[in-house]
Each structure stands twice: as C-alpha cells, then as structure tokens.
Structure 1
Amino acid sequence: MNGVQRSNNYDSNRSALVAVDNNCAYLSLAREFISSLHRPSAIFDTQFDWCYCIACYKTEWDDVLQAGEAFYVIPRDWVRLGIHIDHVVEQIHGIWDS
C-alpha cells in the first residue's frame, strides 16, 4: 500500500495520518541498514514500518496526533521499523496494558 492512509479518530475531530510508501528511498535505506545487522527476518514486522521523511509525511500535516487519550508527536525525518511481538508473551506480560 503506497501513499497516505487517512482514518478518522473518533476521540477528536482530528484525522490520523499514517505515511506508508514502500518506494521511498529513505525507508529503503533504513531497511537496508536493518538487513546489514544480519538478524533473523522473523524479528521484524514490515507492515508497521512508517516513514516520516519530507516526501512521505508532508510539512503541512500535523506535528502532533491524538491517539485515544494520548498524544503522538510525529518524528519528522525518522523511519519507524516494526518489530514482531510474540502474542503469547504479549498476553502473559500484558505489555500493552499500561
């Protein structure tokens, strides 16, 4: 999926913007770096890779988004690479509960 996904945030009147562009050179460079670490690919979950470079996340878009009751500051010029979380560990330790 390329481009920007816009989804309504029902907790506010603002929109959530998610930058996803698999053709982005900045994102490709970050993935190349991860590949150079020679870690098992099962550790990573590319569906959660998000790029916040100027091409993927436009300067006129919000710097802060609301997610539920929390605020998320957009890490401009950064790439977020998804890491796989084991579902059993997630449930046992309740890692998303706090």
Structure 2
Amino acid sequence: MAGKFELYEDKGGEYRFRLKAGNGENVGASEGYKAKASALNGIESVKKNAADNDRYSVFEGKNDKWYFNLKAGNHEVILTSQGYSSKSAAEEGTAAVQRAAADASTDDQTG
C-alpha cells in the first residue's frame, strides 16, 4: 500500500497535512497554513524534496527524543516528524518519508 497525505483543517481554522506511510503510520506533519492552496503547495514541496538527503536535519529535542525536519530549497521546514527513541530511528523515519512521499495520493478531508 502506498503512502498518502491527509489534508485537514485544524480547530483553529488552519490547513495542515500529515504524511502516512503505507502501513498507516504517521511519519510527519506540516505547520499550519492559512490557505488551503498553500497547504497543497506544501504537499507538492514535500514530494519534490523528499528524495534529497541534504534536505533533512535530524536532531535531539529537549525531551530526549529524536526528530527530523524536511526543508524546502528556501530552507523553510515543510515536514516535522514525531518523536523517536533514538537517532537511528529518526534516520529510519527520513527513509520512510523518502519511500512514501513521491507517489503518495492526497486525501482531502477538508470537506
């Protein structure tokens, strides 16, 4: 099963998306966007940048969990991971994004 982007509107009225791997696991989420079109552009940016290892940064958070960010060409963060228990697990998460993003469909849940 291929990965998919879920596009939704949060309680504050902003548009967000999350990327789910083929197994249904949530592998990353976006920031909030004021316009739906901007969130859709964010999805396209993830698809475009996901294959480039240089676009990822892996870091340890203040809570002792490991995270990664995927950045666009302009260095803006376009996808942030969940917390992982180790650096290697976060690095495996970047590989999950690389596998899932390119051919992922978009499930528009905004109604």
TM-score range, shorter chain: under 0.3
Superposition TM-score, scaled by structure 2 size? 0.25
Superposition TM-score, scaled by structure 1 size? 0.27
Higher strand fraction (1 or 2)? 2
Which structure has the greater CA radius of gyration? 1
Which one has more relative contact order, counting CA pairs under 8 Å at least 6 apart? 2
